[in-house]
Amino acid sequence: MHHIPVSNGRGGGTAQVPLSAQGHPERLPGAAVVGRRCMHIRLRIEGLTRAAETVGVERHLVREPGVIHVMVNPLTAIAYILYDPDRTSRDALWRCITDAGYVAEER
């Protein structure tokens, strides 16, 4: 696990993220966020019925510019997203999930 500084809009802190990079070396936590302000969001994704669908949602989100790390828990259907607010927005993340065929609500 790697600790990086993040903000949820109400204050700062650190987040633990795995060192896997979702297939993109430039999105490796720590390497991608040095000197950047990062934020995180938790979204419940309605309509996920199989664990395999979480991989598709993760792949769809990680393609969004500014997304640094994504992890979707298949049991709770909650997506944990670490992103650069200078490159993407919460609205863009919601739109990305909608484009994948799901509905998201903030947790």
Q: 50: pLDDT confidence band, cut at 50, 70 and 90?
A: confident
Beta strand 12-17 pairing with 78-83: unpaired
Instruction: Check whether 73 has a pLDDT greater than 70.
Output: yes
Phi, psi of 11 (to 5 degrees): 155, 175
Q: What is the mean pLDDT of residues 31-59?
A: 81
Contact in structure between 53 and 77 (CB atoms under 8 Å):
no
How far is CA 102 from its chain centroid? 15
pTM equals 0.67
Domains of the chain: 2-106 (3.30.70.100)
